[in-house]
Each structure stands twice: as C-alpha cells, then as structure tokens.
Amino acid sequence: MDCLFCAIIEGAIPSKKVYEDEFSYAFLDINPQAPVHCLVVPKKHISSIDEVSEDNRDTVSGVLLAIPKIAKLLGLEGGYRVISNVGEDGCQSVKHLHFHILGGKKLPETMA
Ligand code: 5GP
Ligand code: ZN
C-alpha cells in the first residue's frame, strides 16, 4: 500500500521522531501550524477515525494513551489541542489516522 505515514513509520522516509511505543509513533509535522506541532499515528495502518472499530480498539487506545506522554515530552505544561481530520470535508490529506498535537502558545479559540 502506498501510504506516506506507513513509509515514515518504517523509516523509508525520514522524520523527527518524538516518541514511539508498541502501538504508536510520534513525529514533528513538516509544516507546523503552531510553535509545537506533532503528529501521532498508529503503527498499524488505519485510514481515519471513521475506521475505528472493536477490531482495532487496542491500537487506537494505545495511541490515545500515548498523547499525554508525548505532550509531557514536548513540554506542553500549559495545555494543547488535539485534532484529527476525517475525510474530504475534514480536509484530511494523509489517509492514515493521525492526531495533531498543537501547542506552545495560547491557541486561537476559532482554530478548528
Ligand atoms: P491532515 O491534513 O491529513 O490532517 O494532516 C497531514 C499532516 O501531515 C499535515 O499537517 C502535513 O504538514 C503533514 N505532513 C505531510 N507530509 C509530511 C511529511 O513528509 N513529513 C512530516 N513530518 N509531516 C508531513
Ligand atoms: Zn499507512
């Protein structure tokens, strides 16, 4: 399967790794939208939140459990925002489930 984030997880495409465990891989976004912008993805390919099901609950919960650990590693003591875009209307550009972790400043209330 031709998937950018699978290639990043495999190391075929370089990334700035922040965190890794059994279920998840986190790396800095190439085009940051905030002073801190990290992506956390499941190591197993899941297309989006729309594909979350009982079958992949361990993987998905593993990724969610990693988020506060990653936020600590990134020094986001003041808080942060987690976003996952889904499908066409959500402007999802990479079809591998990912959570944006944004922070490092007071984020605008209107930022969707
Ligand atoms: P989406 O628009 O699908 O929610 O988010 C995809 C994110 O992946 C974007 O924020 C984009 O900047 C990031 N991205 C796209 N290609 C690469 C890449 O090759 N490396 C990294 N680190 N981030 C990427
Ligand atoms: Zn993938």
What whole-number distance in Å separates Cα of residue 45 and Cα of residue 36?
25
The CATH class that applies to domain 4-103 reads alpha beta
Cα 16 to ligand 1 centre (Å)? 12
pLDDT band at 110 (very low <50, low <70, confident <90, very high): confident
Nearest protein CA to atom 20 of ligand 1, as residue? 30
Rounded average pLDDT over 12-31: 98
Tell me the per-residue pLDDT of 49-107, one tens digit each, with 9 for 90 and over.
999 999 999 999 999 999 999 999 999 999 999 999 999 999 999 999 999 999 999 99
Q: Which pLDDT score is estimated for 99?
A: 98
Cα 34 to ligand 2 centre (Å)? 24
- Ligand 1 and 92: CB distance under 6 A: yes
Please give the positions annotated as active site.
98
Global pTM value: 0.97
- Would you say residue 112 has pLDDT above 70? no
Q: Which pLDDT score is estimated for 111?
A: 56
Mutate-to-test residue for ligand 1 from 29, 49, 86, highest number of ligand atoms within 8 A of CB: 29
